[in-house]
Amino acid sequence: MALTLLLGGARSGKSALALRRARAVGAPVVFIATAEALDPEMEARIVRHRAERDPSWKTIEAPLDPQRALADAGARACVVIDCLSLWVANLLQSGLGEDEILARAAAAATVASHRDGPTIAVSNEVGMGVVPEYALGRRYRDLLGQANAAWAERAEEALLIVAGRALTLEAAE
């Protein structure tokens, strides 16, 4: 079926839109979470996000391997992956090189785009702001931009979410 990519800035409404779309599908929903509770603030954020989801949904914690979680989700389920930006950060922090991270991004996007059920992937758009001062920040920004492009290339639909509004992103020619 279809892969949808929702991109946007922090608190732009990406996750809320993903949840609304998943509820509207009318199929079982599998939520693939990439966040890890490494500090109290992130722990609280994860608790808030869990409360927003339907309790009947299955959640798979996959901070490093959403591709495997996609395979475990069930062919016809609607899958929400939230979010690719944390996943790329997790991979970078784990010590993987850029080529390996981008290969994993392309492979996971391909799996997501070939599922029978719909897949909704959420990611931050971090390349539209200030250039990070530190090399690691610039490296992350560039990697995430390339990973997002790999997912967008395979997506049937890509939307940029700004202030709770969605703009359709057309393929570049």
CA distances from 163 to 79, 135, 150 (A): 24, 29, 24
Residue 49 dihedral angles phi and psi, to the nearest 5°:
-65, -40
Give the pair of three-digit tokens for residue 89: 């950060």
Beta bridge partners of 4: 120, 157
114 is catalytic: no
3-state secondary structure of 96: coil
Q: Which residue among the candidates 1, 25, 36, 49 is catalytic per the annotation?
A: 49
Q: Treating both helix axes as pointing N-terminal to C-terminal, what angle do 84-93 and 135-154 enclose, rounded to 10 degrees?
A: 130
Which residues does the annotation mark as catalytic? 49
